[in-house]
Structure 1
Amino acid sequence: MFPMMNLIKNLDYVFVAVIGGIQVTQGAVTLGNVQAFLQYTNMFSQPITRLANLTNTIQSTIASAERIFEIFDEPEMDFEPGHFPIVKSDKNEVTFDKVDFSYVPDQSLIQSFNLNVFPGQKIAIVGPTGAGKSTIINLLERFYEVNDGAIRMKGEDIRNKPRSEIRKRMAMVLQESWLFNGTIFDNIKYGRFSATKDEVIEAAKAAHADLFIRELPDGYDTILNEDATNISQGQRQLLTIARVFLADPEIIILDEATSSVDTRTEKLIQAAMDKLAEQRTSFVVAHRLSTIKNADKIVVMNQGQIVETGNHEQLMAKNGFYANLYNAQFIGNTLLSH
């Protein structure tokens, strides 16, 4: 709308100038009259141009509102319990049993995926971009349903339970920290609303966040702004880890939680995450392979398939796909330094 109105305004201006110029040469009007008409043309076009801008805003607002109302109109995901048999012999914390999955029909991503995770194990999932690492986590949390096979927790298929019940047993630390407008205390307590003040402080201490919080002018009552930009990225990440400590879940999922911080802060966060993972089953999705060297089992994925499994020493000794990935990060650093 705006470019069209602007074009009409300019054409109108040129038309008045040309016709006025011809009439001035013929002595029909004075030059002052033509100048007055040009000013009138500008004055007349200004409100029309503003109306065109307003129309653009209204159109954008309507388009945004349509998307919002589409979400509101989506039906709730009612729980329909599955009737999958309980495998009593399966003592694993988590079992992926011949799982197949695809986002798009006829474009298979995960094929016959098998993984046994024992209670208390730290499982690292690594691989190139698009290998299916995050998809495995999405399936575990039932953001998507498997096309074939089964995912079991302690022998029971997760489709037998409501999604809310499955997710209460897990906690997640993402690459991007999610904090809300409010006090630091409230942001940590979001992990468990029934927690006491002492429990919140203990969780902050466990996450190595208590020290920097007490150094802030208002301590735990410090108000975080909308994007929590009044504290650093590393501090935001420590608060999300403190929240997970407070939630005290059975299973922890760490999705590249240290990729956007400096080395010193990374060590603090890594120490907090190692303490968090003690005596809990944990899944770590990582691109920086140096952060998962102490994992009990490293699952190497490529194109939706497990290509290698083992700990760091075993996989490096194989000198295969994992070793190539691990060595490639140092080659990249060497190239950058030169």
Structure 2
Amino acid sequence: MNVRTRAMLAFGLVAVAPAMAAPLPALKLDRARTTVSGLSSGAYMAHQAHVAYSDHVAGAALIAGGPYHCAQAALETALASCMMPAQGKGPDVAALATFARDAAKAGRIAPLSGLAGDRVLVLHGRADKTVAESLSADTAAIYRALAAGARKPLTVQEELGGNWTHTFPTLDAGAACDTATAPYVGKCGYDAAGAIFAYLYGEPAHPVAADATGELRTFDQRIYRVDDVDAHLAASGYIYVPKACAAGARCALHIAFHGCQQNAETAGEAFVRDAGYNRWADAYDAVVLYPQAQATMAPLNPKGCWDWWGYGGEAYDTRDGAQLRQVAAMAAALGAPLR
């Protein structure tokens, strides 16, 4: 590097490209054991991923979210009906179910037969003042409506009276349980991650340890853009790989979606390290993918929420949605294609 270039770098006159993180590893995954979960906007996103790819996703755990297509591609509807709706102003679950049926017939989401036999856990804290408990009940209701008449029943379990506010509840990690601020991880005496793995996967393969022993890695999310479309995701995401999975064991894939202001650029690694998924992933031989959304002003998403109201386009909650397509590309790279 010559003297002139060094001087330009010192004064910020030369743009330096961000360092490239590693790509995702190709692992030996059991394609029948892919599941999703999330909090708040992450719950909406996990719900969208499950419905859009139900032929490849076997279950979902949703904390403080609402029903599929609740916002109907309109921020105004999202704010009025899908967070803390006034009495009688909540979403029309029957109409949303009709939208999903039509989308399935058109091939924009998976056939609804893909929900047969799936397991869904719906959690909500009774002190939550950000998302109404009624919306979690609506989520359970739309699942039951969409899976009605399935050859194998969909199992939905509702736990709506949790002793926490708008946060991801843990046994003893994070802020006070009655605190609803970033990073939205609260020590509530309740191990939500453990409950999620137990409900979605049954008995663990190994005893759970006090601490995770695998590797939490960053990876370059930009590699997985589809058709070079900007899905408004961060440059880097996270993946947790248990030692057994890194050594070639056949493992499950769990995709954990953070909530608003819970992404790494806002909350650091609090969610990916402290929510409790990783030590349970060791016990269940499950890889955990932590994709990361990005805060933007154009489109308007200053809190780094997942797209559950259409800031990335009207197809946001279908297989044509940019964020869903990019996450699906990540899953495919790991060895668990979603379509």
Q: TM-score band, normalised by the shorter chain?
A: under 0.3
Q: Which has the larger radius of gyration?
A: 1
Please state which structure has a larger fraction of its residues in helix: 1
